[in-house]
Structure 1
Amino acid sequence: MYWSFIALALVAPSADALLRFACSQLVTERLDPLVNPGVAQSPHLHQVVGGNSFNISMDPNNDPSSLASCTSCTFSEDFSNYWTAVLYFRAQNGSFHRVPQIGNELFEQANGGVTVYYSPPNSGKAKVTAFKKGFRMLVGDTSCRNAACASKYRQLTYTCLQTPGTRTGETKDMPKKPCPAGIMANIRFPTCWDGTNLDSPDHKSHIAYPSSGTFESNGPCPSTHPAQVPQLFYETVWDTRKFNDKSLWPTDGSQPFVWSNGDPTGYGLHGDYVFGWKGDALQKAMDANCNINCPQLKSQQIPAGNKCTKPAIVNENIDGWIDELPGGMPITSS
């Protein structure tokens, strides 16, 4: 299990290592410069963290680390952008309310956002190639509504938090019962790269999963994608606690949470990434096998990251009780 690896990393930094840090909320708006570059209103709402150079186009020829003036992440040389869809609660009368985010138990000071991990190979023997300037990728499929579709993307899961520290019982679909401490969405990206292309038309073909096994079990990369890159992993904790009263849930017994992309199943979980580390900072951290803390990197306190925000370009109501998902996104279960 992935979390047994993390537990080992906490007690045995010489054997296993990972970068783990908070990225507070930068902006929540209907932009997607990866899938819909230049489009002022992308089809669905996203929550974005990282450098404040995030913009409508994110030209791959422009280096985010040279354009950003701040980052919401605690490693202050990381001006990358990380984004996901936004979770909503659907009431019995059909109205919607945005579910707030909270920092996980390790980063309670964070203003929502995402906990980010970069993990080198578990064995400590293989050379990991850090992402390069201009690199970007997408994992998951916003249109997935069943297990067969979601199975193409390994390790996109949910944890129904019994306590803030729960790290077992991951599921591919949305939890079907109230979660006492919230719902954590877990997004793990593929870890093999073709070694040439910084992007691809579908933002996925230049990356791949190991040809057998998993990243955690040191599975080999396929010959088409021979370069091993760090495992990028997002954890987002959605504070569903105030919606846990079952009398508020659908009378047919179904669960009430829906993604901003219109997905009530959870199978459409997805995440986007645009690399923006300054210089070779990430490669240095990977080469040093940094474990949690990394003296090779500059860092800032979480309150400083909380101050790095930017106004939304798309002016629309996304909070309070609303009659439809932002952008009028329809809900589809198949």
Structure 2
Amino acid sequence: MRWNQLLIAALAVPSNALVRFHCSQLVTQRLDPLVNPGQTPSSHVHQIVGGDSFNATMDPAKDVPGEATCTSCHSFSNYWTAVLYFRHQNGSYKRVPQLGNNQFRTANGGLTIYYMQDAIYQPNQTSKVTAFQPGFRMFIGDVAARTLEQAGKFRQLTYTCLDTFVTRSPELIAFPERKCAEGIMTSLRFPTCWDGKNLDSPDHASHMSYPETGTFESSGPCPATHPVRTAQVMYEVVWDTKPFHDLWPADGRNPFVWSFGDATGYANHADYVFGWKGDALQKILDVPCHFATNCSEYGVKMQSIDKMNACTQKAVVKEDIDGWLQELPGGFQASYGPTSA
């Protein structure tokens, strides 16, 4: 019998879950089935986690979990972001490695994923939310953003300079402009109001919305156009910038750049393709499982880090993405925005 991702007991309980789990890296390559479907290679390098059914098209008519044989996560969903590079003063680029987050330090890089009903700091997740459905997908961010005004269209795509490995504030909209002792963490929070009809949209974003007033954390109401309140999906990614501290540029300018050339940090973005089996996500959202502290008593079986690390996928795009490169894969160069020299 093939391994099943999260086995949830169907229990009727009054409180809700704050789901948090780690996903090891499945593959790193230039594929993007949302923005560049069917294009091999896609425009820029991504790091992908989740089920090994990930491919260049991710046909929404296909059964995502049914086609997967393993996952580097705890469901067969796929989650991905762009990749961070260090730009040397001589103009060459080197990929920044990743670290497993907090208690997941032995994981092979990847992301930490949250599904939240209420603010992350609220231990009692009491709000009722609706799980996504098979075929659902979404995107957040703007790869062309190079100014604060452009980045301001998207709430809570942030950076934290990790002075310690558990530092979580302050959160910045642009790249930190100093050395960060334990690396840089990016946090990517998706909108939480769904139109209740469309599993996707042409821009992969307009079927979702932010609350009409306030925020998700303040329990702001959803707009009438997007009345269905969903869990907030959040990614945390820890980038190990320590190996580059001795190479920091003399002028003090931030030396990090996204794989598509953004050196401001304003173009932070992320993609999501739903791949939970049946109603497993709704069931886990309906039990009082907070992180991994009391999940087992509700029938939630979490995959070990060793099993997550064992699920990998060979890159179909054959190119060097890890050595010292004269240009970013796809031909990009660092762009510092309209005010750059």
TM normalised by structure 2 equals 0.90
Which residue type is aligned with residue 329 of structure 1?
A: F
Q: Give the whole-Å Cα distance in 1 for the aligned partners of 2:288 and 2:158.
A: 26
Q: 324, 328, 331: which one pairs with 2:327?
A: 324
Q: Is residue 284–residue 296 contact of structure 1 (8 Å, CA) maintained in 2?
A: no
Equivalent in the alignment of 1:220: 221
Equivalent in the alignment of 1:6: none
Question: 1:329 Cα shift?
Answer: 1.7
Equivalent in the alignment of 1:152: 153
Question: 1:250 Cα shift?
Answer: 2.8
Q: Give the whole-Å Cα distance in 2 for the aligned partners of 1:308 and 1:194.
A: 34
Q: Give the whole-Å Cα distance in 2 for the aligned partners of 1:16 and 1:104.
A: 24
Q: 298, 303, 306: which one pairs with 2:306?
A: 303
Q: Give the whole-Å Cα distance in 2 for the aligned partners of 1:19 and 1:262.
A: 33
Aligned: 1:38 with 2:27: no
Which residue type is aligned with residue 106 of structure 2?
A: Q
Equivalent in the alignment of 1:22: 22
Equivalent in the alignment of 1:10: none
Q: Is residue 43–residue 329 contact of structure 1 (8 Å, CA) maintained in 2?
A: no
Q: Is residue 145–residue 333 contact of structure 1 (8 Å, CA) maintained in 2?
A: yes
CA RMSD of aligned residues (A): 1.4
Question: 1:43 Cα shift?
Answer: 0.6
Q: Is residue 90–residue 258 contact of structure 1 (8 Å, CA) maintained in 2?
A: yes
Equivalent in the alignment of 1:230: 231
Say which SS state the counterpart of residue 104 (structure 2) adopts: coil
Equivalent in the alignment of 2:202: 201
Q: Give the whole-Å Cα distance in 1 for the aligned partners of 2:233 and 2:57.
A: 23
Question: 1:284 Cα shift?
Answer: 0.2
Question: CA separation of 1:127/1:16 partners in 2, compared to 1, >3 Å: closer, same or farther?
Answer: closer
Q: Is residue 140–residue 268 contact of structure 1 (8 Å, CA) maintained in 2?
A: yes
Q: Residue by residue, what CA displacement relative to the aligned partner does 1:233-286 show, whole Å, maximum 9, x if unpaired? A: 0000000011112xx233332110000011000000000000000111100011
Equivalent in the alignment of 1:333: 336
Q: Is residue 120–residue 289 contact of structure 1 (8 Å, CA) maintained in 2?
A: no
Q: Is residue 17–residue 290 contact of structure 1 (8 Å, CA) maintained in 2?
A: yes
Which residue type is aligned with residue 37 of structure 1?
A: P
Identity %: 60
Q: Is residue 72–residue 305 contact of structure 1 (8 Å, CA) maintained in 2?
A: yes
Q: Give the whole-Å Cα distance in 2 for the aligned partners of 1:185 and 1:124.
A: 24
Q: Give the whole-Å Cα distance in 1 for the aligned partners of 2:111 and 2:45.
A: 16
Q: Give the whole-Å Cα distance in 2 for the aligned partners of 1:262 and 1:296.
A: 45
Aligned: 1:120 with 2:117: yes
Which residue type is aligned with residue 285 of structure 2?
A: M
Equivalent in the alignment of 1:95: 92
Aligned: 1:275 with 2:279: no
Question: 1:126 Cα shift?
Answer: 3.6
Q: Give the whole-Å Cα distance in 2 for the aligned partners of 1:71 and 1:166.
A: 29
Question: 1:125 Cα shift?
Answer: 4.7
Which residue type is aligned with residue 155 of structure 1?
A: Q
Equivalent in the alignment of 1:166: 167
Question: 1:64 Cα shift?
Answer: 1.0
Q: Residue by residue, what CA displacement relative to the aligned partner does 1:81-101 show, whole Å, maximum 9, x if unpaired? A: 000000000001000110000
Question: 1:63 Cα shift?
Answer: 1.7
Say which SS state the counterpart of residue 106 (structure 1) adopts: helix
Q: Residue by residue, what CA displacement relative to the aligned partner does 1:261-320 show, whole Å, maximum 9, x if unpaired? A: 110000000000000001111000111142112334332101100000000010000112
Instruction: Single out whichever of 173-182 and 286-295 deviates more from structure 2.
Output: 286-295
Q: Is residue 146–residue 267 contact of structure 2 (8 Å, CA) maintained in 1?
A: yes
Q: Is residue 113–residue 235 contact of structure 2 (8 Å, CA) maintained in 1?
A: yes
Aligned: 1:315 with 2:318: yes
Q: Residue by residue, what CA displacement relative to the aligned partner does 1:134-158 show, whole Å, maximum 9, x if unpaired? A: 0000001111111101111000000
Which residue type is aligned with residue 327 of structure 2?
A: E
Which residue type is aligned with residue 272 of structure 2?
A: Y
Q: Give the whole-Å Cα distance in 2 for the aligned partners of 1:277 and 1:183.
A: 30
Question: 1:187 Cα shift?
Answer: 0.3
